[in-house]
Structure 1
Amino acid sequence: MDAITQFLNSTSFTDQWLMPLAIVAGGTLAGMIFKRVVHSRLIKAAERSKWEGDNVILDAVDSQIVLWFFLLALSLALRDVPIEEHYGLYISKILKIILIASITHASAKLVVGLFDIWSKQKGSGFPSTTIFTNIVWITVYAIGLLIILDSLNVSITPMLTALGVGGLAVSLALKDTLSDVFAGLHILLSKKVQPGDFVTLDSGEMGYIQNISWRNTKMLERSNNIIHIPNTKLSSAIIKNYDSGDSSFFVKIPVGVGYNSDLDQVGKVVMEVATELHSTMEEVNKDAEPSFKFRGFGESSIDLVVYFRGNKYGDQNPIIHEFIKRLHKRFNQEGIEIPYPMRTVIQRSE
């Protein structure tokens, strides 16, 4: 302890180490001030911008600002520190590795963020899901690793050759996994299903596609249950996609009236109720007018069908619910009979 105290109080420490430590501390402090003052103001300015890319850029470098200032200050400080040459070489290599790793991480966040913006602008085009974002992360990190190895004068040619041979063995061992991976890519590129679509499978399951990952696709049922479907099975399945293209669809509501009813009056009342529902309910597609058609003579009623157009799958439930309530009320007010089946039983006595 006394030796440390004597060293700190000595002229050697003051002359050789105090200034480098001050440079490192000052550089770190400057990074913190830059992040708090300059970077925060840039974030506020980016929020007012219409382009989302500036937000992505600022978010990518946010966690690295202080580290970069620290590395810059440390590299400047080490120039004046009396250390042996081989130690200095090791330290410079370590700093270079840390800097490249930091830039790689920031670049990966930047590329993923820009990729996400681009995929959203495409709308129904190229989707941004876990499988694609993971590919982007892995690609950028692999490039960063190769740059680090090259900076250390490590030849990457033998490594790439070994990876090629090893990759063949791994591909044989992970045949089922790779099948799911490529099936997931096929599903996304062919736009068979996309996250957010409501689909029905040929096996009977139906729900919303939530995410397409490396091995399986996650589907959320309307009962809030999660179904995990292997990508290979989903790729080969027969799928009814309710949201592919125009997500709106016709809603058919069957109605029956008594044979003694005035059909002109029935048609008038039905259209009045349907038009009122069309103008007041958000679930009804406003571009398609409601209509009805008489369909036939039933066993106890004259049958007709009322047609609405819902905006998406699931809207049919509130439309049918509300239309039946309103039509029943109007039929009662107008004296229109809604018949029910009746049977006449004849009993013969011998």
Structure 2
Amino acid sequence: MDNILNFLRLEESDHLLLFWLKEILVAVVIFTLFWGLSQVVRYILTSWVPRLTAFTRTGLDDRIIQRVTPPASLLVVFAGLYFAVRSLPLPEKAHVVLSGAVYILNIIVVTVIVERVIAELLEWYGAKLAERHGAGVDRQIIPPLEKIVTIFLVGIALMVTLRHFDYDIVSVLTALGVGSLAIGMAAKDTLANMISGFTLMVDRPFRIGDRIQLTSGQWGDVNDIGLRTTKIKTVDNTLLVIPNSELCNTTLINLAYPDTRAKGRINVGVGYESDVEKVKGIMIQTALDVPEVLPNPAPEAFFVSFGDSALGMSLFFWVEDYTRLFAVTDRINEQIINRFREHGITIPYPTRTVFLEKEN
């Protein structure tokens, strides 16, 4: 009897061993098929797809394919590992743990693929911004965007993972919403400045190096555009720090846009006995004799007003660089006063005649 029981136990163990060998073999076959499929995917992405993207005028698609090929093939391998684990007749808890771990790996790989695609798109967009608005713009805009995208993708991956394990993501979202509201109320000014800084970087009303003038009369060169403040270096070599929210809600003048040319104006009064046409000619020729004054648009002189003691004249001229406007104005003023003296043209000053009546 004992021999019969031992024989039955041995036969049962052999059947169990054969059963597990068969199940493991099926899992290995599934994983092998997916591994082969990953090699096919890699071959297609490295050999055939570049032939198609070669017909496009941009290299963006080539860079995207090059960056997503390794994680895409790895994703197929992890997918095969997931189905291989699911095919094994393991206990329920073992299934949950193993398949859950492989599922998390798949989510991570998918997140990496999406992040790499978006990173290439942002890099391409940054290069376009640099071509349009000058070098350095991409280094200001793209890094904050990349951080925001990364946080967004990680949040989505976390919610998908929690949803897979039947966690209540509504309560998580509610807690995050309440926390975000509390943080937003506590730091609303800082957030307003950060959002305004991002708006300034995207809208580009001015660039680093541009000379701007505020409604308050202050003006200077933009030294830095940050997420919270903008720094302006004034002409007297002081640093003006302005919150971005104020710059977004005020009117300002960009002296460097659409180009660096600037228009200067000189007002001068001449005596009533002066020949107006002669005065105009002298002023225009004086401006043209200064090398930094542009011949096109040509300088212009106008008779603009009748003053109490002088005829009001105005000279308009253009310079190539707005930073040289004051220096050029100084040189023209010096030449004008010398030319007026040479031609006998007076620059009168206000006079007042007082009549005294003698009482009888």
Does the alignment reach a TM-score above 0.5? Answer: yes
- Which residue of structure 1 aligns with residue 213 of structure 2? 200
Quote how far apart the aligned CAs of 1:216 are. 2.1
| Unaligned stretches of 5+ residues in structure 2 | 1-24, 349-360
- Does 1:104 find its partner at 2:117? no
> What is the DSSP-based 3-state SS (H/G/I as helix, E as strand, rest coil) of the residue aligned with 1:63?
helix
1:153-195 Cα shifts (integer Å, max 9, x gaps): 4332111111122223222332432343455477789x79444
Distance 1:150 1:234 in 2: 43
Quote how far apart the aligned CAs of 1:244 are. 9.6
- Which residue of structure 2 aligns with residue 4 of structure 1? none
1:12-58 Cα shifts (integer Å, max 9, x gaps): xxx999x97999699689859955x7787778755xx2xxxx54454
Quote how far apart the aligned CAs of 1:297 are. 9.1
Return the match for 1:180 from 187, 193, 196.
193
- Which residue of structure 1 aligns with residue 265 of structure 2? 252
Question: Where do residues 13-32 of structure 1 align in structure 2 (5 Å cutoff)?
Answer: 31=42
Quote how far apart the aligned CAs of 1:70 are. 2.9
Return the match for 2:254 from 218, 242, 252.
242
- Which residue of structure 1 aligns with residue 71 of structure 2? 67
Q: Which has the larger radius of gyration?
A: 2
Contact residue 216 and residue 230 of structure 1 kept, 8 A: yes
Distance 2:342 2:196 in 1: 60
> What is the DSSP-based 3-state SS (H/G/I as helix, E as strand, rest coil) of the residue aligned with 2:265?
strand
RMSD after superposition: 5.9
Change in Cα spacing, 1:264 to 1:180, as seen in structure 2 (3 Å) is closer
Change in Cα spacing, 1:337 to 1:29, as seen in structure 2 (3 Å) is farther
Contact residue 266 and residue 329 of structure 2 kept, 8 A: yes
Distance 1:225 1:38 in 2: 59
- Does 1:89 find its partner at 2:99? yes
* Partner amino acid, structure 1, of 2:106: K
* Partner amino acid, structure 2, of 1:241: I
Contact residue 230 and residue 243 of structure 2 kept, 8 A: yes
Quote how far apart the aligned CAs of 1:79 are. 6.5
Contact residue 60 and residue 106 of structure 1 kept, 8 A: yes
Distance 1:104 1:226 in 2: 42
Question: Where do residues 1-350 of structure 1 align in structure 2 (5 Å cutoff)?
Answer: 31=42, 46=56, 49=57, 54-60=58-64, 62-73=66-77, 75-76=79-80, 86=95, 88-109=98-119, 112=122, 130=141, 133=145, 135=148, 138-181=151-194, 183-184=196-197, 193-195=205-207, 198-201=211-214, 202=216, 204=218, 206-208=220-222, 210-213=224-227, 215-219=228-232, 221=234, 227-234=240-247, 239-243=251-255, 250-253=263-266, 264-272=277-285, 274=287, 284=294, 286=296, 288-293=297-302, 304-309=313-318, 313-314=322-323, 316-317=325-326, 319-320=328-329, 336=343
| Identical residues among aligned pairs (%) | 20
Range with bigger deviation, 172-181 or 157-166: 172-181
1:229-288 Cα shifts (integer Å, max 9, x gaps): 32345456x6532359877653113579999997655533443454677xx86x8494x5
- Which residue of structure 2 aligns with residue 346 of structure 1? none
Count of residue pairs brought into register by the alignment = 306
1:134-171 Cα shifts (integer Å, max 9, x gaps): 65554455444433443444332111111122223222
* Partner amino acid, structure 1, of 2:220: M
Range with bigger deviation, 218-227 or 148-157: 218-227
Contact residue 56 and residue 110 of structure 1 kept, 8 A: yes
> What is the DSSP-based 3-state SS (H/G/I as helix, E as strand, rest coil) of the residue aligned with 1:154?
coil
- Which residue of structure 1 aligns with residue 13 of structure 2? none
Distance 2:63 2:331 in 1: 48
Contact residue 274 and residue 323 of structure 1 kept, 8 A: yes
Range with bigger deviation, 195-204 or 250-259: 250-259
> What is the DSSP-based 3-state SS (H/G/I as helix, E as strand, rest coil) of the residue aligned with 2:301?
strand
Distance 2:277 2:107 in 1: 84
Change in Cα spacing, 1:324 to 1:39, as seen in structure 2 (3 Å) is farther
Distance 1:220 1:38 in 2: 54
> What is the DSSP-based 3-state SS (H/G/I as helix, E as strand, rest coil) of the residue aligned with 2:323?
coil
User: TM-score w.r.t. structure 2 length?
Assistant: 0.56
Contact residue 81 and residue 102 of structure 2 kept, 8 A: no
Distance 1:107 1:122 in 2: 23
* Partner amino acid, structure 1, of 2:76: L
Change in Cα spacing, 1:324 to 1:150, as seen in structure 2 (3 Å) is farther
Change in Cα spacing, 1:198 to 1:68, as seen in structure 2 (3 Å) is same
Change in Cα spacing, 1:206 to 1:166, as seen in structure 2 (3 Å) is same
Contact residue 212 and residue 256 of structure 2 kept, 8 A: no
Distance 2:285 2:272 in 1: 21
* Partner amino acid, structure 1, of 2:191: L
Distance 2:63 2:239 in 1: 33
